[in-house]
Amino acid sequence: MGVDYTQLHDPNAEYTMRDLSAETMNVTRERGGGRDVEITDVQTTMVDGNFPWTLVRIYTDAGIVGTGEAYWGAGAPELIERMAPFLRGENPLDIDRLTEHLVQKMSGEGSIGGVTVTAISGIEVALHDLAGKILEVPAYQLLGGKYRDEVRVYCDCHTEDEADPIACADEAERVVDELGYDALKFDLDVPSGHEKDRANRHLRAPEIEHKASIVEAITERVGSRADVAFDCHWTFSGGSAKRLAKRLEEYDVWWLEDPVPPENHDVQREVTQSTTTPITVGENVYRKHGQRRLLEEQAVDIIAPDMPKVGGMRETRKIADLADMYYVPVAMHNVASPVATMASAHVGAAISNSLAVEYHSYELGWWEDLVEDDVIEDGYIEIPEQPGLGVTLDMDAVEEHMIDGEELFDEE
């Protein structure tokens, strides 16, 4: 028998001056119109995709179920189980209050960042699906309506030999011609054969030239048929990142992503302001508070929050509104299953400054089988008009691809 995480003793959660539960806040008025609904349970199941996706389901006394997803990785299911008692008996329509309620209750367990925020994000996404079903509106409507009927998708591309410029260019051409994408991303933090020390973050001149050769080969091959971004996975020193970005200015780079580690915003600002190569950051920064300095100090050209990691759909909407004050577009990082991918697309439809949403699973043949609905078509996601997120889990596919040792959550 495993640990019952709902019973963990935490004085911070048991007593907080800012308890935002319905009982404490006296949110008890009858709502009518079928809106008097209570949460009865919260469950998770982890699916073994190209990442270990944590799917979340919230159940109600009305028999309506909402489905969400937390960013992949260990710890989220246990934290979601831990938070389930704080949600039972609550009305799922109070999404903003419930999200902040969880942030307050989990403050002692790190709700300003990391996996605690990720776990809350998965619950928040499920609440949007659930609220949309209760109110019989699509999730984007809960975020203020839509600017567009479809959201552009950029495909994160890989090859067996990611260090070979020609192999990368061949794959770029294939993804454009055969799969129909007009937006791509390739990794640039790949071995060049010229490394002397992998720990010091320094790029020697031959390494920079090798990376430039990859960028040149891909951008010249696809030309104006596709926008191409390049990801550095927060690998390089400030000086090396500046020299790399400067070297790439002659090419048609959509953006250069995470060239330096995320902790030091001062270095990030210096890198961004040193080059005309567009710089994108945001997947490793949590909630709107974490993104604030990046935007206020103009340390990014494009902001890239990961919706099921950063705090959820409304939190991403808040980040987008903050970014819009500085005329910065939003390109959502995304390595999720079809559930959170569609949730990100709903956010992308509802914000004015949406650039694109990432798709990171084109090599996984069963990705779209996880739901009963079509998701990506010719490099775009058409926003569903069905209530909630507009995707329905295929429970047989979920069961087939569960992580060993997991249990399938209840259907209803």
pLDDT digits (tens, 9 = 90+) for 214-262: 999 999 999 999 999 999 999 999 999 999 999 999 999 999 999 999 9
Whole-number percent of the chain with pLDDT over 70: 99
Average pLDDT, the chain: 95
**Same domain? 244 vs 333:** yes
240 and 365 fall within a common domain: yes
What is the chain's alpha carbon radius of gyration, rounded to the nearest angstrom?
Answer: 22
Chain segment 34-73, per-residue pLDDT in tens: 999 999 999 999 999 999 999 999 999 999 999 999 999 9
**Last residue of one domain, picked from the residues 68, 103, 136:** 136
Query: 359 φ, ψ to 5°?
Result: -125, 120
Do 326 and 194 fall within a single domain? yes
Final residue of a domain: which of 136, 159, 179? 136
H/E stretch holding 265: helix 265-273
Same structural domain for residues 162 and 111? no
Tokens of 257: 């992503």
- Residue 396 has what pLDDT? 97
Q: State the Cα torsion 344-345-347-349 to the nearest 10°.
A: 170
Tell me if 401 is assigned to some domain: no
Domain of 191 in residue numbering reads as 141-385
Give the pLDDT score at 232: 98
Task: Choose the weakest-confidence range: 16-30, 331-345, 349-363.
Answer: 16-30
CATH number at residue 212: 3.20.20.120
Q: Is 393 inside any structural domain?
A: no
Question: How many structural domains compose the chain?
Answer: 2
pLDDT in the model for residue 407: 92
What confidence score (pLDDT) does residue 182 get? 98
The 10s digit of each residue's pLDDT in 174-204 is: 999 999 999 999 999 999 988 889 899 999 9
Question: Do both 153 and 121 map to the same domain?
Answer: no
Residue 286, CA distances (Å) to 124, 216, 341 in order: 15, 33, 18
One domain for residues 89 and 151: no
Per the domain annotation, does 398 fall within a domain? no
Residue 409 lies in a domain: no
Taking CB atoms within 8 Å and a gap of at least 24, the contacts of 384-387 are: 384/138, 384/342, 385/138, 386/138, 387/132, 387/133, 387/135, 387/136, 387/137, 387/138
**70 and 46 share a domain?**
yes
**Same structural domain for residues 254 and 363?**
yes
187 & 272 share domain:
yes
If asked whether residues 38 and 132 sit together in one domain, one would say yes
Residue 320 falls within a domain, yes or no? yes
Clarify whether residues 150 and 37 are in a common domain.
Answer: no
Residue 51, both tokens: 């990442």
User: Residue 88 belongs to a domain with what CATH number?
Assistant: 3.30.390.10
Nearest residue to 85 (alpha-carbon basis) of 178, 175, 6, 195: 6
Are residues 131 and 147 located together in one domain of the fold?
no
| Contact assessment for residue 216 and residue 251, using Cβ atoms and an 8 Å cutoff | yes
